[in-house]
Amino acid sequence: MRVVTRRTGLSVDLLRAWERRHQVVSPSRSPSGHRLYSDRDIERLLLLYQATLAGRSIGQVAPLDAKALAALVQQDAAAGSAPGGRALRPSARAARSAPHTATDYLDHCLRAIRRLDAPALAATLRHAAIALHAAEYLDSLVPSLLDHVGTGWHPGTLAPVQGHLARAVLRRTLEGAIEEAGSPAARAGVVIATPVGEVHEFTALVAALSAAVEGWRVTYLGAGLPAEHIARAAVLTRARAVALSVERPAVDPAVGDEFRRLRRAMPRRVALLVCGTASAGYRTTLDEIGAIHPPDLAELRSQLRRLRRRR
């Protein structure tokens, strides 16, 4: 798989997500269990990658056979540009200056935001999701971008109109990435939301994408839900876990009460995880009800991996 990622430019996490959700290729296995990709597999992955860079979703192009996929890529190349007027086949000089690290992608995103160029921002975020490791994307690029644009309860470094545009594009991009990375066939389900009174959902969105990357079946409910509604969703989806985020800087006793109501309303087998910048303020309550409170998204993913391995 490492060889394939070097030859295609796809990240390991995205390649696994494409295989799991869309069966884009079916590699064989070595006696030791390693995936074995053929040249035909690599050629197909390259074509899929080019098609997604042109602005198409993987769900649109994954069902196409090799001939139809190659024709589509040629058609896009003949058109000369991807959505927003950017060349599909950059020159050698442009290729050398293309983003490679999370910092590079952040610079490209900020330039697009300052120009109010939503298509360019969306394309850069999609490309980053393909090229970067999940940890770089989730722990570095997205939080750094949110620091610049602001999250609603604290200001960023950009003008308000730039922040509004960036948040709208980032929300759409994360929602699309959750859908692409998730697998409806995954056995372990998680419900993700924010409690009543918490309207800032970006941490919840990133948590949902983290769970999808870790192989969970994600049910994302959005912001500001009563405990009883979240518990009902956990029961109906037979979830193994519920994850909430809290971002407001002040501790609200009413939110602590929501955590208690949620824990009482859910089966004991359902794990409760609470993350976000304000979660530390509820530590006593969370310890009281046996909730897991990871300090950051990296630890959230570690906890989700442990929970998914349990039967």
Beta strands in 156-207 (DSSP E): 189-195
Choose between 248 and 92: higher pLDDT.
248
pLDDT bin (cut points 50, 70, 90) of residue 311 is: low
- Tokens coding 299: 């630890």
Which pLDDT does position 80 carry in this prediction? 53
Whole-prediction pTM: 0.73
Percent of the chain with pLDDT over 70: 89
Q: What is the mean pLDDT of residues 120-146?
A: 88
**Are 176 and 225 within 8 A, CB to CB?**
no
**Are 276 and 248 within 8 A, CB to CB?**
no
CATH superfamily of 183-309: Cobalamin-binding domain (3.40.50.280)
Choose between 38 and 83: higher pLDDT.
38
**Are 194 and 244 within 8 A, CB to CB?**
yes
Q: Where are the domains of the chain?
A: 1-79, 98-181, 183-309
Which pLDDT does position 153 carry in this prediction? 55
Q: From the centroid of its chain, how far is CA 189?
A: 16
- Tokens coding 252: 């609200």
pLDDT bin (cut points 50, 70, 90) of residue 181 is: confident
Alpha-carbon distance 15 to 31, whole Å?
21
Which pLDDT does position 270 carry in this prediction? 97
Q: What is the mean pLDDT of residues 118-125?
A: 90
Mean pLDDT of the chain: 85
Alpha-carbon distance 89 to 208, whole Å?
33
pLDDT, tens digit, 9 for 90 and up, residues 65-111: 888 888 888 887 776 544 433 333 333 333 344 567 888 999 999 99
pLDDT, tens digit, 9 for 90 and up, residues 160-177: 899 899 999 999 999 988
Choose between 245 and 94: higher pLDDT.
245
Which pLDDT does position 54 carry in this prediction? 72
CATH class of 1-79: mainly alpha
pLDDT bin (cut points 50, 70, 90) of residue 155 is: low
Residue 60 in this model has a pLDDT that exceeds 70:
yes
